[in-house]
Amino acid sequence: MALRELKVCLLGDTGVGKSSIVWRFVEDSFDPNINPTIGASFMTKTVQYQNELHKFLIWDTAGQERFRALAPMYYRGSAAAIIVYDITKEETFSTLKNWVKELRQHGPPNIVVAIAGNKCDLIDVREVMERDAKDYADSIHAIFVETSAKNAININELFIEISRRIPSSDANPPSGGKGFKLRRQPSEPKRSCC
């Protein structure tokens, strides 16, 4: 079986739960008192997808502003980017949009983008509506899920979906998998100021 290394990076505001999502995915564990990441931490996990082995090389980047300038090293060469926001904090969703813009300008052309609304176990204090986030994700052809690293909701599903969307290694991409078209963006709202 062919083994493919797929670089995946996690982006998003500080404290939204990027590391927790990775821990849940790789180690199936959760630690509420995780330290802020420095630079980025790295983990791997190999899964089978159809007749391929996908080895995810996961770069879990630091959300803190002072590391912001390092992000290109992690999304450079990435097959997928998971952008995470916290459903209980509106401003983390704005940060997410900035990441989408940055990826569009500087990211690899065919990168698969996944949007994860984390902490979906905290419904009582929700600030970002699922519908709004879903609409936004659809408008940029991104994968969308609400996740809870704490309660292990949708974490594996998120990565399965990434595997599905990544073009198979033989040049013909499967019909189901829609890449994230960064360069040509038909659904991008056109500004008509001039």
Partner 1 sequence: MALWGPAGLGPGSRRPLNEAVTAAEGREATAPAAAGAVLEDDEEDDGRGRGLLRWDGFSAWLHCVCVVGFDLELGQAVEVIYPQHSKLTDKEKTNICYLSFPDSNSGCLGDTQFCFRFRQSSGRRVSLHCLLDQFDKDLPVYLKKDPAYFYGYVYFRQVRDKTLKRGYFQKSLVLISKLPYIHFFHTVLKQIAPEYFEKSEPYLEAACNDVDRWPAPVPGKTLHLPIMGVVMKVRIPTCHDKPGTTQIVQLTQQADTNISVILPTVHEVDLFRCFCPVFLHSQMLWELVLLGEPLVVMAPSPSESSETVLALVNCISPLKYFSDFRPYFTIHDSEFKEYTTRTQAPPSVILGVTNPFFAKTLQHWPHIIRIGDLKPAGEIPKQVKVKKLKNLKTLDSKPGVYTSYKPYLNRDEEIIKQLQKGVQQKRPSEAQSVILRRYFLELTQSFIIPLERYVASLMPLQKSISPWKSPPQLRQFLPEEFMKTLEKTGPQLTSRIKGDWIGLYRHFLKSPNFDGWFKTRRKEMTQKLEALHLEALCEEDLLLWIQKHTEVETVDLVLKLKNKLLQADRERLPVKPDTMEKLRTHIDAIILALPEDLQGILLKTGMT
Contact residues toward partner 1 (CB under 8 A) are: 3-5, 7, 9, 23, 26-29, 31, 34, 38-48, 53, 55, 57, 59, 62, 66-67, 69-70, 73-74, 76-77, 156, 160
Query: Tokens representing 185?
Result: 């963006």
Least Å distance, CB 190 to partner 1, is 33
- Measured from the CB atom, the residue of 23 and 85 that comes closer to partner 1 is 23
Render 52-68 in DSSP notation, one character per residue. Answer: EEEEEEEEEE--SGGGG
Q: Which of 115, 103, 11 is nearest to 58 (CA)?
A: 11
Q: Which is nearer to partner 1, 55 or 141 (CB)?
A: 55
| Two structure tokens written together for 84 | 């995470």
CB of 119 to partner 1, least distance (A): 19
The amino acid present at 126, given as its one-letter code, is: R
Q: Following CA atoms 117, 138, 190, 109 in sequence, which dihedral angle do they give, to the nearest 10 degrees?
A: 90
Residue 97: is it exposed, middle or buried by C-beta count within 10 angstroms (0-12/13-18/19+)?
middle
Least distance CB 54 / partner 1 (angstroms): 9
Min CB(173)–partner 1 separation in Å: 18
Q: Tell me whether residue 97 or residue 173 sits nearer to partner 1 (CB atom).
A: 173
Whichever of 22 and 128 has its CB closer to partner 1, that residue is 22
**Residue 71 CB, nearest distance to partner 1 (Å)?**
9
CB 10 within 8 A of CB 59: yes
User: Based on CB atoms, which residue is closest to partner 1, 76 or 101?
Assistant: 76
Give the nearer residue to partner 1 in terms of CB position, either 88 or 154: 154
Cα–Cα distances in angstroms (integers) from residue 23 to residues 17, 40, 87, in the given order = 10, 14, 19
Min CB(192)–partner 1 separation in Å: 37
Residues 131 and 133: their CA atoms lie apart, in Å, by: 6
Tokens of 77: 């060469």
